[in-house]
Chains A and B, each alone.
Chain A
Amino acid sequence: MLFNSIDFAIFLPIVFFLYWFVLNRNIKVQNTLILVASYVFYGWWDWRFLFLVLFSTLVDFFIGIWIGKTEIERRRKLLLFTSMAVNLGFLGVFKYYNFFLENFIAAFSFFGLSFNAGSLSIILPVGISFYTFQTMSYTIDVYQRKLQPTNDLIAFSAFVTFFPQLVAGPIERATNLLPQFFTKRSFHYGHAVNGMRQILWGLFKKIVIADNSAEFANLIFNNSSDYNGSTLLIGALFFTFQIYGDFSGYSDIAIGTSKLFGFDLMRNFSYPYFSRDIAEFWRRWHISLSTWFRDYLYIPLGGSQGGMWMKIRNTFIIFIVSGFWHGANWTFIIWGLLNALYFLPLLLASKNRANLGIVAEGKILPSPSELGRMLTTFLLTVIAWIFFRAENVSHAIGILGEIFSTSIFDIPKFGGKTEAAIIAVVIVFFFAIEWLGRSHPFPISELDRRIGKVPAWCLYIFIGLLIFLFAGQEQEFIYFQF
């Protein structure tokens, strides 16, 4: 079920009503409702893959209990590896099998050897990378004794499948989300209203910014050989806005929806395109994944403890793995590698934690230096996104080759320039609102209190009107494929 669908607009009020008015006396019953609702939400897409979610849930639930019951280190480790093998095995089969197979065949033929094996013709289950990482975080936390294993299968299942964030995150830590299933939730007016604001803002990002940018990004990327450098750059810019609007929009709707049920999810985006360097960008982009890799990969690898070379090695590993997490294609790996290369100078100069605060805090406009650094970081990310969006590496290189040629100075030529100009104006409006609200979790958070009720409501209505006017066909979220 898509957040931007009529189905969800009917589904959400029904679940909300049952949750607060019918089943509000008992926390276990509420958890059961969340579980059933989550299965309906996921099964709406393809019910067959519910068995995969169920299996992953049961494996980690029982392994968690068994790890908790034993003090024998070898046994605990074996159980942890079993959980990892099952979860990563799912990912390996459904997401990476064909990629590895193709590359093995290519490598064998390079050495003049032949290797035959059939590729798998299977659909990638929606959100598999998200829920497997979430369940793994539980088992690792139990193994590391950061968390007591739970004996409540319903609560644990609800934690794994919690519908607002099941298919595209934020990837929650068990230490944050799981305990919330054991605490009585009470309805908090301010919290719920802010959740509605965040849903509105998320829908605006998705329907207005992402889906409309996608129209031009797809047009230009899918016919890239027909376009000059300046048009390809416009296509890359539209994709840059599309991916941000799409993914952070999903996160906003997920966090906002959770607030309606009394849950707090972690923040996933924090105005990444206002970053002054790449390190700051990665502290602000897909925070739940970055911190997951930091806590469960970078730190276990030694983090920054073993000197500069160790730091560089570990940084490259997490960026490449992060790229690979997004998809089984060399384009994603190069995207990760490129970001690691962007990161390297900051690491060598020990300036990767230079920009921890809010840019131009307390000021209306950034200084020229801040603006320059923001634009540079933005352009670097635009270049990296070309790899992320391209069909394959040669496609990306072809686009970059044209952008870095003299045709960048030609007049852009593509169909629908007037519509593109209208979307560009809306994107400027969007970033203006983001800039003005950058010290808040999302730009229209608590807006009534900040600017007064009437202006705030006028803005909400205007945003709602823009969502209506710019609504086209329902488009899937990009991150569903990951």
Chain B
Amino acid sequence: MIHKFILRTVQFSAILAVVILVAILVPQIFLKREAQFKLDEKVKYVVFGHSHSECAFDDSRISNFKNLSNAGQSYFYLLPKLRKVLDANPQVKTVFIEFSNGQIEERMDDWIWGHDKLHNFFPLYAPFLKYEEQRLLLDHNPSDLFSVIPIVAKNSLGRILAMDMQYGDDVGKFKPLEKSIVDSLINDYQHGIREKADSNPKISEVHLHFLDEMIAYCKKKGVRVVLVRSPQHRFYNYRANEQVFQKIRRERYGTLTFLDYNDFPLLDNQFGDFGHVNREGAEVFSDWFERNVIQDKKFIEKQS
């Protein structure tokens, strides 16, 4: 009898495993084919990045422009988004990619396979990641990857059942910071309370590799790439690595246009904190960007 019990248990487990596998794979395949990343036909400029550009580019004030940045998103998760957006939107002529001090550092590895980022972004982008990209997560954080797979399956099934194929705002948009804590941060700074920053940090080769991949994909699609650094407060602690940052930019990305707004003239109260502009700062910056970049004939000519 015990052998029959074991046989029945194995049979049940096998059937359940097959059903679970189907529940994981079928929605992924379906979404990979059917997901919609179509932007407005007028959109010719897109910015990809993390919270800095998410807060800085108010796309309602910039012509033919879409902000697809998302706080906490590394180049690893920006890459599949970029691929889908460019595939679905041949009208896009220029891609701006946020490239700022923090993004060269080794801590960005955690933005790829760390628990929080894996749980936040993998469920959304899993269908669009290539095998080798999924393999990277498996190699570095298998336990969190396995624990997030049910969420991937549930979210994908939910999206299909709700017939919601439009990714639109889910993958990024302008999100203004309403408040400013800069005064208290300056107060702390002047009293010597400040986050520790390394002037010669370890570099994340993995993270920069995915920036390379983004640039390569744009080139493959014939889309111009512009690196951009959104405004950062003068006391922003990651400025400490400026020399290393500039060296990498020159040596690795010297052939690309780099729009550097690191010292963009903003008042203290136009920042939300040291790393991000607030709504008022975004208005000032976006209006300036519209006038001096988007409406600049020289800049436009470079597209063609």
Contacts and interface: CB of A to CB of B under 8 A. Distances in A.
A470 B150 contact: yes
Interface string A456-471: 0100110011001111
A2 to B, nearest CB: 14
B12 A468 contact: no
B19 A461 contact: yes
Interface in B5-20: 5, 8-9, 12, 15-16, 19-20
B12 A465 contact: no
Contact of A187 (B1, B147, B157): B1
Nearest to A473: B147
B16 A464 contact: yes
B16 A461 contact: yes
Contacts of B158: 422
B4 A469 contact: no
A253 interface: no
B5 A472 contact: no
A189 B5 contact: yes
A415 B2 CA distance: 49
Contact of B1 (A188, A422, A457, A472): A188
A192 interface: yes
Contact of B153 (A188, A196, A457, A469): A469
Contact of A461 (B8, B15, B147): B15
Residue of B1, B16, B153, B158 with most partner-chain A CB within 10 A: B16
Nearest to B144: A473
A457 B12 contact: yes
A468 B150 contact: yes
Contacts of B124: none
A469 B147 contact: no
B12 A472 contact: no
Interface residues of B, number: 19
A472 B4 contact: no
B150 A469 contact: yes
B5 A469 contact: no
B154 interface: yes
A473 B16 CA distance: 21
B19 A196 contact: no
Q: Which of B2, B20, B157 has its CB near the most chain A CB atoms (within 10 A)?
A: B2
A469 B23 contact: yes
Given A196-B9, A422-B158, A189 B4 contact: yes
A472 B2 contact: no
Given A188-B1, A422-B158, A472 B16 contact: no
Contacts of A465: 16, 19-20, 23
B151 interface: yes
Contacts of A20: 2
Contacts of A470: 150, 154
A420 B1 CA distance: 44
Contacts of B153: 468-469
Most chain A CB inside 10 Å of its own CB: which residue of B1, B4, B151, B153:
B1
Interface residues of A, number: 20
Contacts of A193: 5, 8
Interface in A433-482: 457, 460-461, 464-465, 468-473
A20 B1 CA distance: 11
B107 to A, nearest CB: 23
Contacts of A187: 1-2, 5
Given A461-B15, A473-B147, A468 B20 contact: yes
Contacts of A461: 12, 15-16, 19
B115 to A, nearest CB: 9
Contact of A469 (B2, B16, B157): B157
Contacts of B5: 187, 189, 192-193
Contacts of A21: 2
A471 B1 CA distance: 32
B123 to A, nearest CB: 12
A461 B14 CA distance: 10
A90 B38 CA distance: 65
Interface in A158-202: 187-189, 192-193, 196
Interface string A366-396: 0000000000000000000000000000000
A460 B1 contact: no
Contacts of A472: 147, 150-151
Interface in B129-149: 147
A224 B154 CA distance: 29
A20 B151 CA distance: 37
A187 B5 CA distance: 10
A201 B304 CA distance: 64
Nearest to A200: B12
B170 to A, nearest CB: 13
Contacts of A457: 12, 15
Contacts of B154: 469-470
B2 to A, nearest CB: 5
B17 to A, nearest CB: 9
A464 B8 contact: no
A473 B143 CA distance: 11
3 smallest beta-carbon distances between A and B, as pairs: A189-B1, A464-B16, A469-B154
14 contacts: A187-B1, A192-B5, A193-B5, A460-B12, A461-B16, A461-B19, A464-B19, A465-B16, A465-B19, A465-B20, A468-B23, A469-B154, A472-B151, A473-B147
Interface of B: 1-2, 4-5, 8-9, 12, 15-16, 19-20, 23, 147, 150-151, 153-154, 157-158
